[in-house]
Structure 1
Amino acid sequence: MSSPLHQSAALGALSLPNRIIMAPLGRARSDHDNRQPLPRVRTYYEQRASAGLIISEATHVSAESVSRPGGSAIHDDAQVEAWKPVTKAVHDAGGRIFQQLFHLGRKAHSSRLPGNALPVAPSAIAAVGEVPTADGLQPFPVPRALSRDEIAQRVNDFRLAVRNSGRAGFDGVEIHGANGYLIDQFLRDGSNQRDDDYGGSVENRARFLLEIVDGAIAELGAARVGVRISPHFAVDGISDSDPVALYSHVARELQARAIAYLHLIEPDAIAPQKRLAPRLRELFKGALILAGEFDQDSAQRAIEQGRADFVAFGRLFIANPDLVARFRQRAALNSADEASFYVGGDQGYIDYPFLQDLRSKQPLTA
């Protein structure tokens, strides 16, 4: 009997050959000036096409959302054209790929924004910590609170990015509602202290996410839309007073929209009594992807126990382009070179050895 990780399963409009998902991984290998993926990006994703589903690196939906040099974007025609060879290469290799879409919100820095503008957020509350800039680490700036009309424009930015993802050949999109970025900033009451219909109650704070999801559904259909959330994330000071109520409401509303999947960052190390996956699975009947430092054995247990339908792997996919084959054969894994995670060219990006390459170099025995 095959491992649950290697069993096929449906995810929205797709039939996946296994339950091993490549997590979104920002590797900063796109062009520094126009944020178009370079040829090495095509190779990187093509190498990993055996994953049940690839979720691309977080991709900016507008010029107002700008991260480190080399981050990618999908808000203009040139970027769309540059992504087409990437999706074609993945499809030609037998794979499937969604594009993750995001907006940094308050986690951007004025030095990288057009006109050195202030970053935007639901409320004028700075993230805690520092952001890398050309002049070294700088404190996160106090952002400018969006007006209601400006919120509508950001919703539209996401919708246009979804349309561009479809034009570029992606099989679907993942709306990045996690990790303290703009959507997450609206969701949580520690960063959202508005007194209009985008703040206050759980229903109001979830409105921004749900309007973005509705726009994505209008463009691609519900079966090609996923959402990522991170209830346990608190690195930059983001917080919520009642995460169970918040994410229960989100799960119910996403179920009503029948989207393809909910992607939950909930490490296996989270104590069972603090896990939200059991509650969210009661409310959301689509596919549930779990992520958070899983290894092969813990991922298999999560699926066997019914905690998830799929498990996403990040660091393991960085160092092991053939992770699916290595799991199947219980083979040794390459170690990741952390120094090259976010900087550099091909090294530490597309030069990790495949299992077959290692075996071909082994000396013959008598």
Structure 2
Amino acid sequence: MLFETYKLGSLELSNRVVMAPMTRVRASETGLPSESAALYYAQRASAGLIVSEGISPSKQGQSEPNIPGLYNDEQEAAWRPITQSVHDAGGRIFAQLMHGGRVGHPEINGMQPLGASPIAAQGTIFNSGGRLAFVTPVEMTVEQIQEQITVFVAAAERAIAAGFDGVEIHGANGYLIQQFLSDNSNQRTDQYGGSHENRARFAVEVATAVSAAIGADRVGIRFSPGGKFHDMNESDPEGLYTTLLNALNPLGLAYLHILETASDDINDRIREIWTGPLIVNPAIVGSADFVNKSNADRWLARGGDLIAFGRYFISNPDLVRRLRDGLELTMPDLDTFYSGGDKGYIDYPEWSDSAVG
């Protein structure tokens, strides 16, 4: 089943394997993707769908150093040879739009981060000079909320102009959209805070506006229900995501992408509620366990439609073949995940190149 074709909106995918979005911090200081990114993604184009690394929709939304952007002409132009390389290799690729919100720092982009409420995340953020304590974000006014919705729309339009097949709105892992969903980071008393409906409002408005701009069949959205990463605390994930998904269902989005951060009961409830295609990444952020074929088979049996693999895709550019043929998987070098440069990026060989015979 994992290797069957799948119809995703207007796209015919060659299999149900998805390359999960993975931050690789190879971009320039001005948000230009690495020239090697074209080869990196093309090497992995046998995936039914690639979801790109997180891309900043604005300078203020940049979460970490050396994250690529999609908010100016130069960045848009730099993505074109990358999407073309994937298409030339027979693949499909969505751009993940990742607004950091309070996950950011003035020393990274020279701007004060925005947030649902003026509450700093607990912990630290990576910077080239070391780790920095999170700062208190600017509480967004209703006008600023509307401005950030247009930021997502503009980045989505640039993504399509740059040749991406669609976009994935990042609503997981403690970034801006989840900051509105989570109780501890959203203490607002207006229409964007308090009830489940109010805390879900920003996510729904972003998805609605982006869908209106580029077509709902080219828009996916990602969540980590109940996830704690970046100091999140959703006290009632089942009630919250029931409300959220019921509001998103009428849009007819290309897909919902979830991490396996909630209990089995809640995940089964999500599968029951969601009426569109479901991508599952059976992983927990920070876990030492990598997603494998048994995880995929388990979720396909539970009703997942496509399965996202992360870290094994870093070290196995031909992961689809290796999974299909039962070939040994290469373990990735964790020290090169965020090291910059081509080592640990485009130098992992395919099986045919590495097999001993």
Is structure 2 residue 262 aligned with structure 1 residue 265?
no
What amino acid is aligned across from residue 74 of structure 2 in structure 1? A
Shift of 1:203: 1.0
Counterpart AA for 2:175: Y
Distance in 2, Cα, partners of 1:135 & 1:42: 28
User: Match for residue 245 of structure 1?
Assistant: 239
Report the number of matched residues: 350
Q: Is the 8 A contact 1:277 1:307 kept in 2?
A: no
CA distance in 2, matches of 1:294, 1:346: 24
The TM-score normalised by the length of structure 2 is 0.95
Q: Deviations over 1:217-268 (max 9, x none)?
A: 112111111000001321332111211111111111221111010001016x
Q: Which residue of 2 aligns with 1:227?
A: 221
Greater shift, 45-54 or 252-261, is seen at: 252-261
Which residue of structure 1 aligns with residue 173 of structure 2? 179
Q: Does 1:142 align with 2:139?
A: no
* 1:133 corresponding residue in structure 2: 127
1:286 is aligned to 276
Gaps of 5+ in 2: 284-289
- Residue 22 of structure 1 is matched in structure 2 by 19
Deviations 1:109-140 (A, max 9, x none): 111233xx321101011111011234422211
Query: Which region of structure 1 is more displaced relative to structure 2, 135-144 or 158-167?
Result: 135-144
| Cα distance in 2, alignment partners of residues 160 and 26 from structure 1 | 22
What is the one-letter code of the residue matched to 1:347? K
Give the whole-Å Cα distance in 2 for the aligned partners of 1:30 and 1:260: 28
Task: Give, as a single letter, the amino acid of the residue that structure 1 aligns with 2:264.
Answer: P
Gap regions ≥5 residues in structure 1? none
Tell me what 1:96 maps to: 92
What do you get for the CA RMSD once the two structures are aligned?
1.3
Counting only pairs closer than 5 Å after superposition, residues 1-366 of structure 1 correspond to structure 2 as: 4-31=1-28, 33-114=29-110, 117-266=111-260, 272-273=264-265, 276-291=266-281, 292=283, 293-303=290-300, 305-359=301-355, 362-363=356-357
SS of structure 1 residue aligned to 2:225 = coil
2:87 and 2:129 mapped to 1: Cα distance? 41
Q: In the aligned structure 2, how far is the partner of 1:132 from the partner of 1:224?
A: 32
Alpha-carbon distance in 2 for matches of 1:221, 1:66: 25
Q: Is contact 2:169–2:207 with CA below 8 Å preserved after alignment?
A: yes
Partners of 1:113 and 1:87 lie apart in 2 by: 26
Q: In the TM superposition, what whole-angstrom CA distance separates every residue of 1:139-173 from its partner, at most 9, and x where no partner exists?
A: 11111101111111101000000000010000000
Alpha-carbon offset, residue 271 of structure 1: 5.3
Task: Tell me, in whole angstroms, the C-alpha distance in 2 between the residues paired with 1:122 and 1:156.
Answer: 16
Whole-Å Cα distance in 2 between the matches of residues 100 and 70 of structure 1? 15
Residues of 2 paired with 1:26 and 1:169: CA distance?
Answer: 20
- Identity, % of aligned positions: 44
Distance 1:340 1:150 in 2: 37
- Give 3-state SS (helix, strand or coil) of 2:125's partner: strand
Any idea what SS the aligned residue of 1:56 has?
Answer: strand
